[in-house]
Amino acid sequence: MMKNNYDYVEFTYTDKVSFESFRKLFTNMQEYKNLSANEAKNYEDVDWEQFLTEKAKECFSHAFDFRSEEGRIYQKLWELTTPEIRTRSLKLIPPGPWEFESVITAIFNCDYYLVELEDKGEGNAILYLDFWAFPFGGMDSMWQLLQAYGFEINYDSYFEGKPPFEISQWDYALAKELVNQKKGLKD
């Protein structure tokens, strides 16, 4: 049984067309990601957006814009905040989804193979992964991708339950105030 041999994420979907679109994306990512170093292809040469549904495109269109004034304030606050605080503060989690390019880059740089995507029927599916090492780079990018397609993540075997989604507590007004005072976040 695959659940005994691999880590996995169980999710539900309500739209079969979205699931099949995700399957095409997964299959193509699998082809590029699972190659040995000698066979490697450059994943950056692929137009990954061609596999997105309109719903996923809409989701990613709301990614936090780091090039905006708010994005520049975010970066300045990040720099003013000590590493001990910036790595754990929910106030420094940007609001909204990741940028699509960041999701793809993170997936290709995480230390796991994409093993299989299994449709269990009745709107249930399982994505199997094989981690190479620990720490493996995290699953946040894959969760972002699944959620962009409108899928509900019900179980992650690594966490033995629902994944611990971190909710942004970003406060633009507070960030501007602190940056103007040349102060970072405090505990």
Query: Percent of the chain, pLDDT > 90?
Result: 73
Say whether 126 sits in a helix, a strand or coil.
strand
What residue ranges do the domains of the chain occupy?
Answer: 2-7+17-132+153-180
Query: Percent of the chain, pLDDT > 70?
Result: 95
Give the type of residue at 9: V
pLDDT, tens digit, for every residue of 52-70? 999 999 999 999 999 999 9
pLDDT over 80 at 4, yes or no: yes
For 115, the enclosing helix (H) or strand (E) is strand 112-121
Give the residue-averaged pLDDT of 111-136.
88
Strand 124-131 vs strand 112-121: parallel, antiparallel, or unpaired? Answer: antiparallel
Give the residue-averaged pLDDT of 99-126.
93
Check: CB of residue 55 under 8 Å from CB of residue 149: yes
pTM for the model: 0.86
